[in-house]
Structure 1
């Protein structure tokens, strides 16, 4: 397909981005061209937009960013067999090599040579995006495109919560950004006996209630560890899902965890975090898991099933939609924390 398209371009090494007219991407024999119907803003996109230390060390402007979307296949390469023109799709955003030891042993989600769509390659904040066909996930046409566009971050929530059993267990979700909010819904759907949501933002704590939290805690106003102990008869919670990345919150997460519990960490602290390994890990006999991305493609199946069955209703935390031209409104809301998930429409 020839021509120009609207796209949000990270145009310089500083805060902000620009809406520009750029060339519609050309596809190779193994790629697919997708007409983007809905794209959502991720925390990673906010880092790039705000231009923090991480983004300054990782991305190379100018380029089109964004990686969460739902769209329709409009063109396929000659070697593509898994999708056809007209299919509704989203994408696994980790482009993996298929050759490293991790890929060859069923652990492609931690491929040593991963490239991330919209971080290391051109992304989907645009009318069209070109992607390897192997990264595509077919969507149920009956699922709204706004809902389908958040499957990738929901996969992070599913992977974190379901990295171990939560049925009948007490679960703490620390950090109620969009992924934390989805984690609340996933934990509730998976049968957790208690889902305790922690944040400093009252707006997002209210959303956590709507997503199924049995208790919400403003960590600035209440003692996070004390609340957890009171709710669990002094035993501590059985599962902690760390989504905040804040050193104090991480320390509190370890301390509220019961002996033999599980700590699953999805957050990305910007600096090294001090942990009391002796008392909070070794003597307590806990399991600590680092969570990255989604299992390919086990997690995607779980996400699709939860959405189709409506056991997790993400519509409750999709709070704003804007046309692509008004992207700055969405980013500012994200920076202010006055939103759940923000969807852009090209």
Structure 2
């Protein structure tokens, strides 16, 4: 089968022929139809320090996908060949304290699909049956392929009640844009998104943001005045990983505000803890998706609101056949894009 492989340590990838993966007794084999390109994949292709310290080559990369079930293991129930499915990319141990308590998203032994084990940038992928999320046949394959990042956005955006709240989203990458769509759908009062890319801010506007702020030119405080906000933002969703974004967010939050932080910084950075304490701000780190409550929420929102589905779909801006993977990666790395999809059909 075709697979996009990190064949050896160092920059680059190769589209090569490899044996099809075999399906174990508790596993499911899926024919990949669409796959989403993620920032993690860019790190793996570029081979930065994180990738070098994490990945053992050779490895098939990729973890965002949608496809058709072609084989199920002897111990698998409830999943049949012909079913359509996406997959949870975090494979957990099921034995640690958090797993046994139902908090699988914070498993201390998590294995990442396409990072620690062969992934989904291939004609076929195998994963545990417990990681398979069955999709209705009516779902757009491209939407099915981005359930992983949509899950990150959902987990972050709905970490706190948002009905009637003023929400600030820092970072208009695909996950930030989808987060704007989610809080708009969930009943936020004002939704403001910041970034330094006008291209991505335009995507956030289409997805439902009331106001988009290019912080290379305009301050968030100006956005508050434009919206006639009398107090600071109630909810902060930090998607950028940029220290300056965190600093400015904290400076524009109301007393008692709550912050969910998904964006990963490259290096440690200082935080004004005096403001956090005196303003009684709650900060919570977010990683991945809650298994599987987040998936239920995603499916329900998409199934019951065509306008929400359209808002999420709008973040997909570029599509490439798998053979053109290098162009797809270059497009994703350029920043002049939303979500990039690889077609493995």
Name the TM-score class by shorter chain: over 0.9
For 2:177, the equivalent position in structure 1 comes to 181
Matched, 1:74 2:65: no
Matched, 1:306 2:304: no
Alpha carbons 2:211, 2:223 under 8 Å: kept: no
For 1:322, the equivalent position in structure 2 comes to 320
TM-aligned CA deviation for residue 229 of structure 1:
5.7
Say which SS state the counterpart of residue 37 (structure 1) adopts.
Answer: strand
Unmatched 5+ stretches in structure 2? none
TM-aligned CA deviation for residue 57 of structure 1:
1.6
Say which SS state the counterpart of residue 18 (structure 2) adopts.
Answer: strand
- The aligned runs of 1:188-207 (5 Å cut-off) are 188-207=184-203
Change in Cα spacing, 1:181 to 1:233, as seen in structure 2 (3 Å) is closer
TM-aligned CA deviation for residue 329 of structure 1:
1.1
Alpha carbons 1:70, 1:149 under 8 Å: kept: yes
Alpha carbons 1:157, 1:183 under 8 Å: kept: yes
Alpha carbons 1:229, 1:235 under 8 Å: kept: no
TM-aligned CA deviation for residue 56 of structure 1:
1.7
Normalised by the length of structure 1, the TM-score is: 0.96
TM-aligned CA deviation for residue 225 of structure 1:
3.8
Say which SS state the counterpart of residue 300 (structure 2) adopts.
Answer: helix
Determine the C-alpha separation between the residues in 2 that align with 1:23 and 1:232: 61
Say which SS state the counterpart of residue 112 (structure 1) adopts.
Answer: coil
Say which SS state the counterpart of residue 314 (structure 2) adopts.
Answer: helix
TM-aligned CA deviation for residue 227 of structure 1:
2.5
Determine the C-alpha separation between the residues in 1 that align with 2:224 and 2:105: 32
Matched, 1:132 2:132: no
Alpha carbons 1:7, 1:21 under 8 Å: kept: yes
Aligned length: 341
TM-aligned CA deviation for residue 147 of structure 1:
0.9
Normalised by the length of structure 2, the TM-score is: 0.96
For 1:335, the equivalent position in structure 2 comes to 333
Change in Cα spacing, 1:98 to 1:232, as seen in structure 2 (3 Å) is farther
Alpha carbons 2:174, 2:339 under 8 Å: kept: yes
Matched, 1:288 2:286: no
**Range with greater deviation from structure 2 (50-59 or 15-24):** 50-59
Residues 127-179 of structure 1: per-residue CA shift (max 9 Å, x gap): 00011001000001100111110011101001101001001111111101111
For 1:107, the equivalent position in structure 2 comes to 103
- The aligned runs of 1:192-271 (5 Å cut-off) are 192-228=188-224, 231=227, 233-271=229-267
Determine the C-alpha separation between the residues in 2 that align with 1:51 and 1:140: 37
Determine the C-alpha separation between the residues in 2 that align with 1:56 and 1:235: 45
Change in Cα spacing, 1:49 to 1:225, as seen in structure 2 (3 Å) is farther
Alpha carbons 1:32, 1:77 under 8 Å: kept: yes
Change in Cα spacing, 1:225 to 1:52, as seen in structure 2 (3 Å) is farther
**Range with greater deviation from structure 2 (138-147 or 250-259):** 250-259
TM-aligned CA deviation for residue 235 of structure 1:
1.5
TM-aligned CA deviation for residue 14 of structure 1:
2.4
TM-aligned CA deviation for residue 234 of structure 1:
4.5
Match of 1:89 among 85, 92, 97: 85
TM-aligned CA deviation for residue 315 of structure 1:
1.7
Residues 32-63 of structure 1: per-residue CA shift (max 9 Å, x gap): 11000100101111111122222122112221
Determine the C-alpha separation between the residues in 2 that align with 1:269 and 1:224: 21
TM-aligned CA deviation for residue 331 of structure 1:
0.9
Determine the C-alpha separation between the residues in 2 that align with 1:14 and 1:205: 34
Say which SS state the counterpart of residue 23 (structure 1) adopts.
Answer: coil
Unmatched 5+ stretches in structure 1? none
Determine the C-alpha separation between the residues in 1 that align with 2:45 and 2:16: 15
